[in-house]
Amino acid sequence: MTDLKDKLQIITPFTNQAPAERRKKIIVKQTECNKCGTCCIGASPMLLKDDYKLYLSNLLNDTNTYTVRLNEPLYNRREQDLYYSPIEVIKIDEDSGCIFYEGAGQCSIYENRPIQCKEFECWDNTPPMEGLEDRCLKRKDIFGGIDFLMDLIEKHEEFCSYDKFLNLIEKFHRNNEEALKDLIDILKFDISARDYVANSFGIKEKSINLIFGRPMTECLEFLGLHIRKEEETFVIRKIDNGTKVD
Ligand code: SF4
Ligand code: SF4
């Protein structure tokens, strides 16, 4: 059975860890990081509580980090498979790899890189970063002192949990039309919450991905659905056979 460590690997630099057979050979030859940059490509690090100081120094902020919410679907390009985040994590933005990766093994924030980057040893076959779940930075560690924002995050999480969302998508795929109405309500709530925060507090659209996670509409393609907005109406269709819904 896949354990939490294996599930977490998919959303971290471990994504590019060498397969077990190759790792055995690496263990013999390699005892320290040679800065090849392989682990910086494909996935950015998740942040730990001790990385919060990088927000205080403004190296990290709401424009270069985002939240992966509990049970959020994540598509792994390398394995071409879908995973679900087993916990909430905060990650550095990615653009075909960590945004701080400059190529040729160079990290633009190397001296101040996050802990996971410092601790990761691709040649080591032992379970990396014991107790990762407890050590992970969460939204409450960043926004905990801002009550109205935490209230909004909790309400959003309550109404738009991925648990509920995925359940409804599964039902919809089994032709349950009632589920589709609830699904649309969740998507509308997610969009409204983003608009409300952006318009009421002048928060930039990109920054909202740290507050509420990425827009829920973005994962629909992975889940076999296509969505289009037509004025006040959503048109959703199953990618297989097409269904239009107002
Ligand atoms: S830990 Fe170092 S040697 Fe290993 S993949 Fe990352 S950069 Fe390369
Ligand atoms: S912060 Fe630097 S070391 Fe860490 S994944 Fe990004 S580029 Fe690599």
58-76 pLDDT, tens per residue? 999 999 999 999 999 988 7
8 Å CB contact between 69 and 157: yes
Closest approach atom of ligand 2 to CA 98: 6
Q: Which of 246, 238, 243, 245 is nearest to 221 (CA)?
A: 238
Distance of alpha carbon 243 from alpha carbon 235, whole angstroms:
8
Ligand nearest to the CA of 110: 2
- Ligand 1 centroid, distance to 228 Cα (angstroms): 41
Please say whether the dihedral angle defined by the alpha carbons of residues 2, 65, 102 and 28, taken in this order, is positive or negative: negative
Concatenated DSSP letters of 158-221: HHS-HHHHHHHHHHHHTT-HHHHHHHHHHHHHHHHHHHHHHHHH---TTTHHHHS-S-GGGGTT
Taking the centre of ligand 1 as the mean of its atom positions, its distance from the CA of residue 25, in whole angstroms, is 15
Closest Cα to atom 4 of ligand 1:
122
pTM, two decimals, is 0.85
Whole-number pLDDT of residue 129: 58
Q: Identify any residues that bridge with 98 across adjacent strands, giving them in sequence order.
A: 94
Q: How many CB atoms lie within 10 A of CB 59?
A: 15
Ranges of residues in the chain with a pLDDT under 70 are: 1-29, 77-78, 125-130, 240-246
Q: Which ligand has its closest atom nearest to the C-alpha of 105?
A: 1
pLDDT in the model for residue 209: 97
How many angstroms does the Cα of residue 5 sit away from the middle of ligand 1? Answer: 19
Asked if 210 and 65 touch (Cβ cutoff 8 Å), the reply is yes
The pLDDT of residue 85:
92
**Residues lining ligand 2, judged by CB closer than 6 Å?**
13, 40, 44-45, 98, 100-101, 107, 109, 113-114, 117
- Confirm if 83 and 161 have CB atoms less than 8 A apart: no
Q: Which amino acid is at 33?
A: C
Residue 244 has a pLDDT of 45
Residue carrying the six token digits 């109405």: 181
Q: Read off the pLDDT of residues 161-209 as tens digits, 9 standing for 90 and up.
A: 999 999 999 999 998 888 988 999 999 999 999 999 999 988 888 899 9
Opening angle at CA 79, ends 75 and 83, nearest 5: 40
Query: Rounded to whole angstroms, how far apart are CA atoms 26 and 189?
Result: 49
* Cβ < 6 A, ligand 1 pocket: 33-39, 120, 122
- C-alpha of residue 111 to centroid of ligand 1, in Å: 16
State the pLDDT at residue 242.
46
Distance 127 CA to ligand 1 centre (A): 16
Distance between CA atoms of residues 171 and 54, nearest Å: 42
* pLDDT reported for residue 246: 42
d(CA 2, CA 6): 6
